[in-house]
Structure 1
Amino acid sequence: MPGLPPQLINTAFASLRKTLNSYYPLSNCTWEAFRSICRCREIEKGVPLYSAGEVPTTFSYVYRGLFRIYVMDERGNEYNKNFFPEGRFPGAMAALLKGEPSRFTIDALEDSIIIEIDHQGYRQLLNTFDDLKRYHIQ
């Protein structure tokens, strides 16, 4: 799959910044540090963003598309827990915080564009930037 055009990447990051700032305004310095721990990528419909049984290292921002988070029982029945439309942040947060395999799968219901955010980098930035702390609290 070819890379995303720079203009689309810039637009996706502008959308992310607008979303973050709607909770608490981030300084340019904080924003640049935050952006450095992110990468923009495409996810095709039906492809898992995060899979059950794997230890996640990132969470994401949905710029374009739709995702669902679900759990599967021992018989193979799927149970939806939540949906993540554009502007939301899908991730297996409990697994990220504990460093454990996720019980959930998050997959794309549409061809999508996401910004992946490195969780460890994010936690380090929280210790550095007070405005990011305030965003996180909000």
Structure 2
Amino acid sequence: MFAEIVSHMKKFISLTGSDEELLASYLTVKDVKKKGHLLKQGEVCRENYFILKGCFRLYLITSKGAEQVIQFGIENWWITEYHSYKSGLPSGFYLQAIENATVVALGRDIQEELFGKIPQLEKYFRLVLEKAYAAQLMRIHYIFNLTGEEQYRMMVQKYPDFVQRVPQYMLASFLGITPEFLSMLRAKKP
């Protein structure tokens, strides 16, 4: 079960065999049913999740009562609500499985302890967070500079399997368009 996470880490850092054994002794695997939540609004996020199998969405409920998807996460990605995770304050977000899923859960205190025992892990998480931050900046750039249709076409081109994997209403929410408009875009020839 831990081979995937160790393999992912080794793309960024080197780990010894004893590092791998120590890491495995601290990690917890959780199965999450489709539509199951790892986090709900008002709860404190206490874990960071590495997705072994499945797809997740991080979303909020707007003041108008609509679900707004902020982020998706798929296999070999980390997902959490970092503000709550680091501050210990209640979250304003939900973290939900879109399909049956399996994650490796890493509690905040455990993560800090592992940083002391395997210093390379701090570098790993820094590099992963830098990559995620850059992706979020690009997403914001696209939101302000591309139409909903252009964003959709780009996603279809870059991530065709993913576009088919998530429910249409969630993809529309992520793109900031209505499900009806997305349906029209899907029917339209590129």
TM over 0.5: yes
TM-score, normalised to structure 2, is 0.63
Residue in 2 that maps onto 1:26: 15
Amino acid at match of 1:116: A
Distance 1:48 1:62 in 2: 14
Q: Relative contact order (C-alpha < 8 Å, sep 6+): which is higher?
A: 1
Q: Does 1:134 align with 2:123?
A: yes
Distance 1:125 1:72 in 2: 34
Q: Does 1:51 align with 2:40?
A: yes
Q: State the shift of 1:125 in Å.
A: 1.5
Q: CA RMSD in A?
A: 1.3
**Residues 81-102 of structure 1 deviation map (CA, whole Å, 9 limit, x = unaligned):** 0100111111111111111111
C-alpha contact 1:27 1:131 (8 A) present in aligned 2: no
Q: Which runs of 5+ in 2 are unaligned?
A: 128-190
Residue in 1 that maps onto 2:107: 118
Q: State the shift of 1:34 in Å.
A: 2.1
Residue in 2 that maps onto 1:63: 52
Distance 2:15 2:6 in 1: 8
Q: Does 1:105 align with 2:74?
A: no
Amino acid at match of 1:83: F
Q: Greater helix percent: which structure? A: 2
TM-score, normalised to structure 1, is 0.85
Q: Greater strand percent: which structure? A: 1
Give aligned pairs, total.
127
Q: State the shift of 1:35 in Å.
A: 1.9
Larger-Rg structure: 2
Residue in 1 that maps onto 2:63: 74
